[in-house]
Amino acid sequence: MGGPGPTGIGAPRPAGGRRRRPPAWAADGRWIGSPRAADHPLVPGRWRHPVTNAKRAAGRRAADLVEDGMAVGLGTGSTVFFTLERLAERVRDEGLHVRGVPTSIDTETKAREFGIPLATLEEVERLAVTIDGADEIDGDYQMIKGGGGALLREKVVASISDRVVTVVGRDKVVERLGTTFLLPVEVVPFARAVVARAIEAAGGAPNVRLTGPDAPFVTDNGNQILDCKFEGGIADARALAEVLSRQPGAVEHGLFIDLATDVVVGDDAGGAELRSKA
């Protein structure tokens, strides 16, 4: 299903006014982006979402969008795991020819185990589609990503993709970014304190992501992550993204602005709904 509903994501801008951010995909009038706070890691030290049936439904449904001969960006995370699983089934059962470009070492390992043919960015200039998870997505298809720490490679791969299909459970659909998830910022270790002060100046509270006492999480690129809390959420995600993009030492941030083109929202009953940006 491609078209926007009257109140759903991608709804037309009302004449003469700024578009009010709609309650996400509430085409039937029902607000579904109402996560229970307890389920969400808005505290330092909890940066992953639990694996749910909704993730499985969304991940697998998105794999069915891949067509024969496509070069495909392979995102990172537990939802994308199910995409890999389904894609591998299609490669095996339908003889589907694909070349996957993984966004992390973890995904590369899993894709190899699944037998999905891989390619590098040296070999592939553009990708027909990238399928990736998200930590939050709002009604304008803007996202927070980086829960798995793969935000840098994920953004590079998204940037060369004709279509970026985001796979999420309903609990990740939010009205305002930063209300259920901390914003990850990947930093060069040398510059960590400098970037942390800049984030504070922008209204955020940064925390170094740790894997143990005094053991910073290290990304595939040898960098660290600051998970940043913005009280009340991020008021202007586009403006904050610009500030962070200009900050020396911050190699990438988890605000994915104007990158997603489609979203597949899974639910715990095993259903999955595809929405596409107008």
Catalytic residue set = 154
Find the part of the chain contacting ligand 5RP (CB under 6 A) among 73-81, 92-100, 188-196, 218-226: 73-81
The DSSP bridge partners found for residue 71 are 99
Candidates 75, 139, 178, 233: give the one binding ligand 5RP (CB under 6 A): 75
Residue 203, classed as helix, strand or coil, is coil
Nearer Cβ to ligand 5RP (27/264): 264
Candidates 79, 107, 130, 161: give the one binding ligand 5RP (CB under 6 A): 79
Candidates 149, 178, 206, 266: give the one binding ligand 5RP (CB under 6 A): 149
- By CB under 6 A, tell whether 148 contacts ligand 5RP: yes
Residue 255, classed as helix, strand or coil, is strand
Candidates 33, 35, 102, 133: give the one binding ligand 5RP (CB under 6 A): 133
Q: Give the contacts of 223 (CB within 8 A, at least 6 positions apart).
A: 152, 186, 187, 188, 189, 251
Q: How far is the CB of 209 from ligand 5RP (least distance, A)?
A: 11
Residue 207, classed as helix, strand or coil, is strand
Find the part of the chain contacting ligand 5RP (CB under 6 A) among 75-83, 110-118, 187-195, 228-236: 75-83
Q: Give the contacts of 157 (CB within 8 A, at least 6 positions apart).
A: 73, 75, 101, 103, 121, 127, 130, 132
Q: Is the Cβ–Cβ distance between 185 and 244 less than 8 Å? A: yes
Q: Which of 122, 121, 141 is nearest to 132 (CA)?
A: 141
Q: How far is the CB of 146 from ligand 5RP (least distance, A)?
A: 5
Candidates 35, 146, 206, 233: give the one binding ligand 5RP (CB under 6 A): 146
List helix spans (H) across 125-261: 151-159, 192-201, 237-245
- Per-position x/- string for 47-66, each x denoting binding to ligand 5RP as judged by CB under 6 A, each - no binding: -xx-----x-----------
User: Which residues contribute to the site for ligand 5RP (CB under 6 A)?
Assistant: 48-49, 55, 75-79, 132-135, 145-151, 154
